[in-house]
Amino acid sequence: GAQEGTPAAGLDIPTPAECTVAPRSEEDLRVLFREVAATPVLDSPEASPTPAVLPTGGPADEQTVAEINATWRQYLACLSSGDQAPMFALLSDNMVRRQFVVDIAFGVTEDALFAYLAATPVPLPADQLVPFAPFTDVRVLRDGRVAVVGPGEMGRGDVRIFVKEDDRWLIDDWFDLS
């Protein structure tokens, strides 16, 4: 078993040192933040939002599966490092916008966000590191993006959608199936 304060033995835990992706530029992130901040927010959410549906598609080839897993591992390594700036480099513009919508809803200002991103990162404690489990069922969607279902909270599945931009896959969407 694992000791208190350490990750469980035998799990593949990406280390902060594996977060080697170059961060997005501050200018690029500021443009996206300002775009979201200037967009009116609905006064009330929909009474009955559309339920999440498991995406369907044919199986991805081995190279695509390997590339998706490399992006996911890099994301987990950056999460472990506590450094949000490189994590944004692993998200599509659409996913960054969605993150900023949440940040703004919680009262995060542009100045506060960029002060946080510029601060010295604090790695996650060992007992909070997330293990890497490679995706095996990667599905190609009609629009060329790919979808995977991973474990979610309390046994529910999380769907992660990846989009290829230039020569790499980025996280484009992430939602719960419940």
pLDDT digits (tens, 9 = 90+) for 11-44: 899 988 999 999 999 999 999 999 999 987 665 5
pLDDT of residue 1: 36
Look up the pTM and report it: 0.84
Closest by CA to 147, choosing from 72, 57, 87, 53, is: 57
Distance CA 134, CA 24 (A): 25
pLDDT at 9 over 90: no
Q: What is the mean pLDDT of residues 31-58?
A: 75
Confidence (pLDDT) at 106: 93
